Structure 1
Amino acid sequence: MKKTILPLTLLALTALACNMTVSFAPTSQPEPEPTRVSPTLTLPAAPTQAVPTQPQPTSEVPNLPEPTVPPQPLSGSTITFHRLTVTLPQTVANGASGSEIPRNDSPEAAQWQKTPGHLQVSLDGYYALQGKTNQPAIYVFPALEYAELAPAAFESIHRLRNYLYDPNNVPALDQMPGVPFMNAKILFAAQILPLSFQNGTGVRYITEYAQGPVQANNTDLFYNYIGVTDDGNDYVVVILPITSPVLAESGDLNAPVPSGGVPYPDNGRADPYFIAISDLLNVQPGGSFSPSLDMLDSLIQSISIAP
Structure 2
Amino acid sequence: MPARRLAVTAVATALAAGPTVLAGAGTAHATGDHGRAGAAVLRTGLDVSLLDKTVDVPLTVSLNEVEAPRSAEKTALTVKLDGVDGGKPFTVLGAEVARADATVSASKSEGSVQLAHAKVHVPGLPLLSLIEIEKVTASAVCEAGEKPVAKANPVGAVTVLGKRTTLTAGGPTVVKVPGVGEVRLDLSSTRTTSRTAAATALRLKVSINPLKLNVAEVDGTVTLAEATCEAPDVPAQEAPAREPAEAAPADPVEPAAGEAPQGAPVEEANLAATGGSSSTPYVAAGAVALLLAGGGAVALARRRRS
* TM-score, length of structure 1 as denominator length: 0.25
More relative contact order, 1 or 2 (CA 8 Å, 6+ apart): 1
Decide which structure has greater strand share. 2
